[in-house]
């Protein structure tokens, strides 16, 4: 049977539709993992509702505009755009999306590994954040389901996706082959805890990522592909992999982790506009395949 990651994801997303976690958490601490990554740990009673963690799960987090400020819960207008109260002292919170790296049900702690890149507002926030700071929290977004049919997992990403790739690779059984092609270094792999069992090829830039994936000729009907990177890079890789066959688009899950020139709120607003227009036109927006076509076709 060929891999059908689309169907598997769709089923899990449907199961989880009524299990949205929406709460406040507090910062337990931060840890420098390497020059490029920082781990943040959060906790909160509301996280007890997160009962079925899956590798690659991502949450939307609302960081206070200044450390220590409270974060009100946002609402959404009819167009799906985030609305914050008008009288916010200190400005609007930052909205960002990060992948759960580990979860501990007993302590209700979750960790996230954040890439520290030059222009990122999150890195600036983290530099001033203090233990106990309150953070708003909504999710989860399902990003990966291992299918029984997959014999090989090909995980492709840039440095923002390396934490998700580490979480996914770590979850896979030894009976499956895990191939990683990613932007980064051996030091990143060690800092983020990529398992030794994964066959990893690191590249220096997006051009190298596209060409290395293009040179990987071993996709077959039993390969499941996962891609997370900058939107235009994902689009190119996706087109290339699908164009070469025999892999079907149902065997692939691709996510735009960020968009060049836009911060995360702007990226979210832009994709929300496309999502709502498609929903209005009658598209099945609960289908991950439809969501990917909306984002990349």
Ligand X SMILES: Cc1cc2nc3c(=O)[nH]c(=O)nc-3n(C[C@H](O)[C@H](O)[C@H](O)COP(=O)(O)OP(=O)(O)OC[C@H]3O[C@@H](n4cnc5c(N)ncnc54)[C@H](O)[C@@H]3O)c2cc1C
* Interaction site with ligand X (CB under 6 A): 58, 96-99, 112-115, 117, 119-123, 141, 143, 160, 163-164, 255, 257-264
CB of residue 221 to ligand X, shortest distance in Å:
27
Q: Which of 264, 291, 251 is nearest to 94 (CA)?
A: 264
Give the residue at shortest CB distance from ligand X.
120
Q: Which is nearer to ligand X, 172 or 229 (CB)?
A: 229
CB of residue 265 to ligand X, shortest distance in Å:
7
Distance CA 180, CA 166 (A): 10
CB of residue 174 to ligand X, shortest distance in Å:
25
CB of residue 88 to ligand X, shortest distance in Å:
18
Q: Which is nearer to ligand X, 45 or 128 (CB)?
A: 128
Q: Which is nearer to ligand X, 45 or 273 (CB)?
A: 273
Q: Which of 134, 120, 125, 136 is nearest to 84 (CA)?
A: 136
Q: Which is nearer to ligand X, 219 or 238 (CB)?
A: 238
CB of residue 99 to ligand X, shortest distance in Å:
3
First to last CA, the chain: 26
Q: Which is nearer to ligand X, 151 or 266 (CB)?
A: 266
CB of residue 261 to ligand X, shortest distance in Å:
5
Q: Which is nearer to ligand X, 73 or 262 (CB)?
A: 262
């Amino acid at each position: 049977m060929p891999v059908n990651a689309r169907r598997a994801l769709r089923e899990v997303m449907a199961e989880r539709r009524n299990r949205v976690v929406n709460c406040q958490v507090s910062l337990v601490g931060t840890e420098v993992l390497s020059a490029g990554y920082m781990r943040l740990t959060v906790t909160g009673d509301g996280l007890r509702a997160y009962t079925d963690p899956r590798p690659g799960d991502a949450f939307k987090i609302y960081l206070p505009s200044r450390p220590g400020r409270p974060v009100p819960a946002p609402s959404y207008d009819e167009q799906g755009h985030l609305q914050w109260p008008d009288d916010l002292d200190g400005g609007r919170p930052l909205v960002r999306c990060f992948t759960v790296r580990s979860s501990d049900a007993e302590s209700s702690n979750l960790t996230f590994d954040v890439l520290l890149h030059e222009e990122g507002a999150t890195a600036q926030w983290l530099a001033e954040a203090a233990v106990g700071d309150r953070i708003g929290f909504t999710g989860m977004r399902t990003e990966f389901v291992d299918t029984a049919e997959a014999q090989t997992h090909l995980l492709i990403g840039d440095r923002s996706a390396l934490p998700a790739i580490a979480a996914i690779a770590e979850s896979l059984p030894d009976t499956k082959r895990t191939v990683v092609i990613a932007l980064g270094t051996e030091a990143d792999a060690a800092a983020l805890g990529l398992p030794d069992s994964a066959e990893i090829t690191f590249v220096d830039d997006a051009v190298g990522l596209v060409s290395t994936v293009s040179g990987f000729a071993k996709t077959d009907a039993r390969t499941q592909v996962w891609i997370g990177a900058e939107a235009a890079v994902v689009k190119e890789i996706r087109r290339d992999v699908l164009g070469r066959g025999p892999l079907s688009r149902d065997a692939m899950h691709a996510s735009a982790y960020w968009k060049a020139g836009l911060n995360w709120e702007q990226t979210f607003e832009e994709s929300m506009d496309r999502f709502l227009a498609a929903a209005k036109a009658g598209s099945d927006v609960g289908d991950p395949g439809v969501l990917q076509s909306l984002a990349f076709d």
